[in-house]
Amino acid sequence: MGSMEGILITVRTSKQGAAMEKGKFSEEYRREIASLTLNPDDFARLQLGEEKRALLKSSAGEVEVICRAAEGPQGIFFLPLGAVANELLDEETHGTGVPDFKGIPVRIAAIAQDKEENYDDHS
């Protein structure tokens, strides 16, 4: 399993907008806002398992994300704005009242997959 540092850019996605119509508590919306998009080479470098789960950390917090590869620059990660991204934002607003949503230094590491034990009770 791999890890790497990069820069986080928060974005709005069309899937996020469509899922929001079903509600911010819908499974579709919650899954979309926890989906991190990264360069295919970065994706391969992380050696993500079948579940494609990773831990994304900034100086302000950490979240679990589901990764997907798409064309884009190496070392730049994209995460939809929302509750998941908010956990990574610093409280500093530089006097504007608005935190930085772009250019956030982060570290990403693949999460070990737990193999679910299958116990059949044949008694």
**Type of residue found at 6:** G
Per the structure block, which two tokens stand in for 98? 């608005």
Please provide the average confidence, as pLDDT, over all residues in the chain: 87
Residues whose CB falls within 8 Å of the CB of residue 92, separated by 6 or more in sequence, listed in order: 99, 100
Residues 6+ apart with CB under 8 A from 11: 78, 79, 80, 81
In a domain, 121, yes or no: no
Is 119 part of a structural domain of the chain? no
As a whole number, mean pLDDT of residues 50-61 equals 92
User: Is 93's pLDDT higher than 90?
Assistant: no
The C-alpha atoms of residue 81 and residue 62 are separated, in whole angstroms, by 15
Task: Supply the CATH number for residue 63's domain.
Answer: 2.40.40.20
* Bridge partner residues of 35 (DSSP): 66
Parent domain of 31: 3-110
Kindly tell me if the per-residue pLDDT of 103 is higher than 80.
Answer: yes
CB contact set of 83 (below 8 Å; sequence gap of 6+): 33
Q: How many domains does the chain have?
A: 1
The pLDDT tens digits of the residues spanning 12-44 come to 988 888 888 888 889 999 999 999 999 999 999
In a domain, 122, yes or no: no
3-class secondary structure, 58: coil
Residue 66, in any domain of the structure: yes
**pLDDT at site 115:** 47
